[in-house]
Amino acid sequence: MNTMVSNPSWSPRGPDKSEGHFGKALLVGAVLEVALLAGLLWISSAPPPPKPVAKKIIAIHMVHPAPPKPKPIPVPPPPKPVVQPKPVPVPRPRPIPQPRPVVHHTPTPKPLMAKTPLPTAPVVPPAPPVTPPAPPPPPPAPSMAAKQAALARYAAMVRAQVQADAHVPEAVRLMHLSGTTVITFRLTPSGQLLWARISQSSGVQPIDNAALKSVKDGSYPPFTKNMPKHATNFSVEVHLSSQSS
């Protein structure tokens, strides 16, 4: 440790280079002293070093695994007891019956009777086959004249029927009108009306309508024997006037 001594005879004077170096040396010495003291204090205050710990020694023994136990040998099941079959009872033999003695009977012969021959039926010769009578010849076809005559008679009958069934409208009576309308229509052989139309007008609409209605509302007989066997057209004149009843 450095100690500074004062000199009473010192008097201030100008700066000296030797004094500057001396001051630096004092400063360095003071720093070193402080560092030394700090080191001593740190060493004294540091905790003591830890005690050495004794190492534990663990003994390891290698143990081999025990060998596996042998599997138990399966014991076979006891054999099933053999069932002895029951003895089949032997049937007792039946006594054989002794055959009865056969007694032979000699049949007494019957007296022979003379057979009377049966009368034979007389042989009848078969009847000759019956020939059916021949069908009558078809009637001769009607001649053209007969057809036309039958058609004319039928048309006249139908014309009279239509004229008789015609009804005079009230307008014709009030206006004192008259006229003749020709109606054409078609009939089947059974007398059925197929259609009807005005083929010639009277010029008066009420008379035409009344004539057509009388044809459509009429009922007609079937065709006669000598008439055609197919549908046929007919034309009738229907005359109506205010004087008609």
Domains of the chain in sequence order: 144-241 (3.30.1150.10)
With b for 16 or more beta-carbon neighbours within 10 A and e for fewer, the 105-125 pattern comes to eeeeeeeeeeeeeeeeeeeee
pLDDT of 25 reads: 77
Average pLDDT, the chain: 79
List, as one string, the DSSP characters of 176-208. T-EEEEEEEEEE-TT--EEEEEEEE--S-HHHH
pLDDT of 114 reads: 60
pTM reported for the whole predicted model: 0.42
| Highest mean pLDDT (candidates 62-76, 119-133, 206-220) | 206-220
- How many residues make up the chain in this entry? 245
More confident residue, 91 or 224: 224
Which of the residue ranges 1-10, 132-141, 163-172, 192-201 would you say has the lowest mean pLDDT? 1-10
% pLDDT > 90, the chain: 33
Could you read off the pLDDT of 72-81 as tens digits, one per residue? Answer: 787 777 777 7
Could you read off the pLDDT of 211-235 as tens digits, one per residue? Answer: 999 999 999 999 999 999 999 999 9
Could you read off the pLDDT of 163-221 as tens digits, one per residue? Answer: 999 999 998 899 999 999 999 999 999 999 999 999 999 999 999 999 999 999 999 99
The residue whose two tokens read 């009922």 is 219
More confident residue, 7 or 54: 54
* Residue 25: CB atoms within 10 Å: 11
d(CA 188, CA 92): 106
pLDDT of 110 reads: 72
